[in-house]
Structures are given as structure tokens and as C-alpha cells.
Chains A and B, each alone.
Chain A
Amino acid sequence: MNTPVYLDFQATTPVDPRVLEAMLPYFTQVFGNAASRNHPFGWDAEKAVDNARAQCAALIGAHEKEIVFTSGSTEAINLALKGVAEMYGSKGKHIITSLSEHKAVLDVAKHLEKEGFEVTYLAPDKLGRHSVEQIEAAMRDDTILVAIMWANNEIGTIQSIAEIGKLCKERKVLFMCDGTQAAGKIPVNVDEAGVDLMCASGHKMYGPKGVGFLYVRRKNPRVRLVAQMDGGGHERGMRSGTLNVPGIVGLGAAADVARQDLEKDAKHSLQLRERFEARVFKALDQVFINGDKDNRLPGCSNLSFAYVEGESLIMGIPELAVSSGSACTSASLEPSHVLQSMGVGDELAHSSIRFGFGRLTTEEETDYAADQIIRAVIKLRELSPLYEMALEGIDLSQVNWTGH
């Protein structure tokens, strides 16, 4: 076993060797521009792109003409939300989303607010879920879009996407779903779920970084977008810019492998997560699972260790590559906005760590990780005035703290 052990599969994944192999010829041999119509170099590149398009479509139950390649999910989200807002802004100015969305959605929503749109940010329940009733209650006559993610990147909670999709259909409101964490990890079918727009990213599913796609429904209803990148009119005018052929080939291959191995991968990650949590819970008290324990991504375990602080905990496990909150916020001292939105107290939010188990994780690594975290928590609790007070029976919520 090599250390550090990588347990941050929600942040990114390594490129699968099968994916890399598929990509390599497209750097040096088949290097044509997929938009070149006049020679075989261009035709071969275009053929490879079309093949990848079909592979991506197959993963999510879409038609290949509904796939728009982008540089990743963030770009796809920008295109979807801003593109819809611009196209349908004359019909209505209201958008509904969740406080627990990724920053890519929240920051675009904030941008749209500056452009004159009104955004309702729904708070999830304490497991990170949104009910259809909650979303319905927030809908107005001028609501044009609902943006709710399929599965959360920090806590792994899976939403009732099909129910939300059905509601949106009934109310003739477009439904955009961030599928970055879900695609390739759990079954995703945009038709069955009634999703109108969905993004995914290559590097979350053992493909390369810097490439992803936006699914844009073309029937019932046909979704139209205002392009956010003008240029040569690539991707049916929705996303100009020379196609990243090797990246797209890798994304397609990753989608293909993920589709074929979906059940196997999910079973593997789930088994390791259960093994890990059982070991941790046996050794430690006052550990809490963040998210929906029974309905979360198979490889995601977000735990709060009461009475210890997250950063010092991470420092105590230098042999584990894990994340405290999402990677995008780990440079700041703010507790995770996702945990805050679910009503997890700041104190427990500060002591949360996300463990991600993936295709390459072994049982040995899992046991090692559990033992490392157990050791660190015990040590830090010996150092913790809060643990001492709790053992003395002091109710910490009643203490008059000198906040700063």
C-alpha cells in the first residue's frame, strides 16, 4: 500500500488506463480539427467526437444530438443558467435553486440576480433533501427555471429528481440538474427523470480534466439557449471554440466504462464505505453522518467528529488525502455552506471531513484510513476543552462563549 492514501474521489478521479489508451492517438496521429470539412484529418476527428457524443448520451439515456461539449461542469452550468435566462427572460424572471448547490450554480445565480432576475434559494432539510412540495410552494407564475443537483458533492445526498422533474413538466418550468457527482456513479436517465438540462464532467468519472458536457433536451420541450461563447458556431451554435478532441474522446471513453461498470463500481465503493464507517463507529462516540444516510452516493462518507476541529483533524491524518468541506472552499476558514444550509451547527460543520471511496480504493486502504482517523480523533479529544466539558455533563450550547 502506498501513502498518502487517496480518498477524495468526489474532488477528482485519476484517468482510467482504458480511457488514457483511447485518448492517446488523438494527440499525435489523429490530430485534425473536428470542424475541418475538407480532408480525412478533420473527418476522422469528427468521427471520434461523434462516437464520444454517443457514449455520453448512452450514459444518461439521452440522444447524441442533445450533448454539447464544454470545458467541464462549471462552463456547462454557466451556459445552461445564463443561456436559459437570456432566452426565456421575457417570459419570466424567477429562478428556484438550493442553498446546498455547488458554488458554480450559486455564483451564476447571484450573477443573474444582478441582471434583474429573482432567485429563490431553498434550504434543504437536515438530511440535505428538498421535497417536491417545497419546490412547488416556491413556484410562481413567472418561474422559468428550477436548478437542483442530482447528488450533492459534499454530503452525497441524492435528490428525488424524477419527482422534481415531473413537477416541472406539469408547471412547464425548465429543470436544470447538476449531474456532476451522479453521472457514472448511480443510474441517471434524463428522460425518466424529466430533466431538461444536465451537466457532467470528465474528471469526476475517471476521465480527463477540462472536458465535460451539457445535455440539452430537444423534444418535450425543445430547450433553446443563448450561447455564452461566440465564435465559429461549433456545437450547433451553442458553444463555439475548436473542440478538444483528445479530451472529448477521453470523456466518451470514461462514460462508456462508467456505464458498463456502473453496478460493479457502485457495489465496490458502497462496500468500502460501509466497512469504513463500521470501523469508525465501533471505536468512537459522537460521530455523525452528514447527509442522507440511506440515500447517498455509494462512495461518499461525510462525517462530523464532535469536539474536534476539522483543520487540526486533517493535520492529524497527513497520510490521508481527504477534504474538509468542498475543495473549492478549503482555502477559506468558513464552514461548509452545504452543512450550514442543512442546519448542521457551525461547531459540527467545522469538524466535518469527507471521505471518498472509488474504483481504485482497496480494503487495506480503507482499514488504514479508519485507523488513522480514529487515532487522530482520540488524540485531539484529549486536547479538547469541549470534550472535557461534555464529559463533565456541561451543555455546551448553554455556555456563554466569548466569540471573536
Chain B
Amino acid sequence: MAYSDKVLDHYNNPRNVGSLDKTSNAVGTGIVGAPECGDVMKLQIEVDGDRIVDAKFKTFGCGSAIASSSLATEWLRGKTLQEATAITNTEIVQELSLPPVKIHCSVLAEDAIKAAVSDFKRKHAGEDA
């Protein structure tokens, strides 16, 4: 299968690989996918006020899944929570030129973003915004 240059770039030089302290109140963690499906994405955001100041990922999955989550961390940094949840999988598909069989990778990345944001919000439920 031929990969786009952008997928190859993210695969060869993944951005923001790593883990944040999932117990920290400033961190939201999203883990989506399942090993038996061939992809698991862990995406974490560190939030200051309403703004994402750091994002990290670890992904078990194909090159397109790795690239989708790597790209997501790049996009997330500096965004507000609202802007973050507005990121759609189609934007990821376009940016990485993903073929139809790899669209599910971008969906997974979108799900991971939403899961990380809602984990953060859950930690702060009841607090004044």
C-alpha cells in the first residue's frame, strides 16, 4: 500500500509521543479502540484554564492510525476545549490524504480527542467554568 508523504512523515517522526500523568487534575485522557481490532489510541491533553497547553499520544495501530493521532496532538496544542472538540475526522483525512480503507483511523483520532476532553470535563464536573 502506498502511503502519503504526510503519513510517512508522522510515522517516521511522530510528534508528541509520550504520556502525561493521568491522575493529574489538569490532564484529560482518552483511550479508544481495542487490541483485537488492531488499533488502540491513547491521547492525553493538559489543560490550563480553558486552553490545551500540551498533548501527548501513544498508538497501537497501522501507520495511518499513528499519523492521525500524531497530527491530532499537533492540532490540539494551543486550542481551547471547544475548538478541540470541533476537530472532525474529515479534516484529518484531508490533511493526511488517507485512502477510504483508512478513514476509520481518523474517526478513532476524533473519538480520542472527544474522550480526552470529556475525561477532563468529568474531573471538573460541578466546578464553575
Contact = CB atoms under 8 A, between A and B. Distances in A.
Contacts of A396: 35
Given A312-B11, A333-B101, A385-B42, A402 B34 contact: yes
Nearest to A345: B36
B41 interface: yes
A350 B33 contact: no
Contacts of A311: 38, 62-63
Interface residues of A, number: 26
Contacts, number: 84
A404 interface: yes
Nearest to A315: B63
A393 interface: no
Counting chain B CB atoms within 10 Å of each CB, the highest count among A310, A333, A345 belongs to A333
Nearest to B39: A309
A344 to B, nearest CB: 11
A193 to B, nearest CB: 38
Contact of A346 (B36, B41, B66): B36
B104 A386 contact: no
Contacts of A316: 11
A309 B33 contact: no
B59 interface: yes
Interface string A382-401: 11111110000000100001
Nearest to B107: A404
Contacts of A347: 35-36
B59 A383 contact: yes
A386 B62 contact: no
Counting chain A CB atoms within 10 Å of each CB, the highest count among B11, B31, B62, B107 belongs to B62
Interface in B49-100: 58-63, 65-66
Given A312-B11, A402-B32, A404-B104, A386 B60 contact: yes
Given A309-B65, A402-B34, 20 more contacts: A307-B60, A308-B60, A309-B39, A309-B62, A311-B38, A311-B63, A312-B11, A312-B66, A315-B63, A316-B11, A333-B38, A345-B35, A385-B60, A387-B60, A401-B33, A401-B34, A401-B36, A401-B40, A403-B33, A403-B36
Interface of B: 3, 11, 14, 17, 19, 31-42, 58-63, 65-66, 101, 104, 107-108, 111
